[in-house]
Amino acid sequence: MEPNRTAIVMDAASLHNLADAVPAYALKCIDALEQAGHEAWLVGGFVRDSLLRRPVSDVDIATSASWQNTKAACEACGYAVHETGTQHGTVSVIIDYHVIEVTTYRVDGSYYDHRHPHGVTRVETIVEDLARRDFTINALAFHPRRGLVDPFGGTHDLKNHIIRAVGDPLLRLTEDALRIMRALRFASQLGFELSPETKTAVFERKQDLDLVAGERLSAELQKFLCGSHVRETLMAYSDVLAVILPELSEMKGLDQRTRYHCYDVLGHTAYVIEYVPQSDVLGRWAALFHDMGKPETFFVDEAGVGHMYGHETASVGHLSKAAYRLRFPAKMTHNLKLLVRHHDFRPTVSRKNVRKLYAMLEFKDELFPIMCNLMRADALAHAPEYHARTISIDELEALFIHMKQTREALCVSDLAIDGNVLLELGLTPGPLVGDILEDLFMAVAEEKIANEPHALRSYAALLIASANHP
């Protein structure tokens, strides 16, 4: 696409709203650079998300100054500067406890590994700098006094909900294969459609995702999963995502052949992800993996009914492989395994079952509500007549919260006495201390005794006497 070198300036009201969105610390950075004789513009996600009235996190600035001059100008104003990416002309400026990435206008050289350019070349204008960016909605620059620069029709695409590559889509995606995943991420987050040319290029170059480092893929995939339009994007681009997660291909089109399910495995999974709250990042990851083991465990009985016994264990196996490929942190992998392994737990509401599920989750408080989110989402993604199961899950979670608030014993550490009391009662240090604490907890869990010191001491004395005189 040949750039339109004429800046597209929005109406006065829109520009005023955009200017109001610029944080004070960003203005200070712009002023520091301009007082030193340089040009500076807000770029990238800040401009895009501000125009869409979406929450803004990071602030990036592009400038005509070299990184050395950027550092000098900002330090002269008393701001700390870190040389975080000087090979690309980038420094990080700290103003009022906020980090701003400031980068010199540049264009990238040819890419040699679908990720790294051979080098970068400094350029003179903001339009030249914007030309190197991935999508038109990200190729925007704004200045609170000079207005908006939009050389590639990014505002048009924002208004029309389109994700369009800057220039030749095949070239853009070949330069950095991660842009394939970024396109899907923006579709999931914003509910936008890929332009026909960009969509064609995404499918044509999808195999290049194999060349991207696992940790870069997982970061984009996480943002994709937490999008408000994840279901429809996952279904539309499952063949692309299958390069990262081959299991998706086997899930697609697999009729589960039961009265409980009205979607194939992939469709069911997509709905489960969508029904988990967007803020529950771990829950959405768990939703992605929870039924991956169904294709390999699926069989149809003589009555024509489908069964997938042991699919939870098989799903954990697929999760383990994906976690290795995508470089998940060890803690994240472990917690996901707990959620996936036990997601099909369908308890009646009772204190006993609260304790049972809590134990399955290794007594991790933070995982209980996530598991409830996952189980609720799983129920809602079943046939409509089974949605009522969410009521018992709500009640189970409420009971857990009540038991925590009233300090009911949910695990051994919640007992009103500890091992020191058992030693005071004459028990010899050793494994038997733990065994008797477990017996005390079970007695409390089964409501045989109250979780209070006197009752526990009395019962413990009986257990110790029995152990000493079998």
pLDDT digits (tens, 9 = 90+) for 257-266: 888 888 999 9
pLDDT at 445: 85
Pick the CATH number of 12-159 from 3.10.450.50, 3.90.1530.30, 3.40.1710.10, 3.30.460.10: 3.30.460.10
CB-CB contact of 336 with 329 (8 Å): no
Q: Say whether 162 sits in a helix, a strand or coil.
A: strand
Write the pLDDT tens digit of every residue in 118-143: 567 899 999 999 999 999 999 999 99
Q: Is the dihedral of CA 244, 247, 253, 258 positive or negative?
A: negative
Output the CA–CA distances (angstroms, integers) from residue 333 to 104, 139, 207, in the order listed. 39, 36, 26
CA torsion, points 423, 429, 430, 435, in degrees to nearest 10? 0
Q: Judge whether residue 117 has pLDDT over 80.
A: no
Residue among 8, 77, 66, 68 nearest 40 (CA): 66
CB-CB contact of 224 with 184 (8 Å): yes
Buried/exposed 353-373: b ≥16 CB within 10 Å, e otherwise? bbbebbebbeeeeebbebbbb
pLDDT at 104: 96
Write the pLDDT tens digit of every residue in 19-68: 888 999 999 999 999 999 999 999 989 999 999 988 888 899 999 999 99
pLDDT at 447: 83
| Measured distance CA(25)–CA(224) in Å, rounded | 29
DSSP bridge pairs for 350: none
Interaxial angle between packed helices 196-204 and 178-190, expressed in degrees from 0 to 180 and rounded to the nearest 10: 130
DSSP bridge pairs for 314: none
Sequence ranges of the domains in the chain? 12-159, 161-244, 275-405, 412-468
CB-CB contact of 294 with 319 (8 Å): no
Output the CA–CA distances (angstroms, integers) from residue 189 to 36, 184, 205, 289, in the order listed. 38, 9, 22, 20
| Measured distance CA(121)–CA(103) in Å, rounded | 12
| The two structure tokens encoding residue 457 | 């001491």
CB-CB contact of 7 with 44 (8 Å): no
pLDDT at 12: 67
- Domain 412-468 indexed as CATH 3.30.1460: no
User: Average pLDDT of 369-389?
Assistant: 94
Write the pLDDT tens digit of every residue in 184-224: 999 999 999 999 999 999 999 999 999 999 999 999 999 99
| Measured distance CA(61)–CA(40) in Å, rounded | 7
Which CATH fold topology does 161-244 show?
Answer: Hydrophobic Seed Protein (1.10.110)
Instruction: Report the mean per-residue pLDDT for the chain.
Output: 92
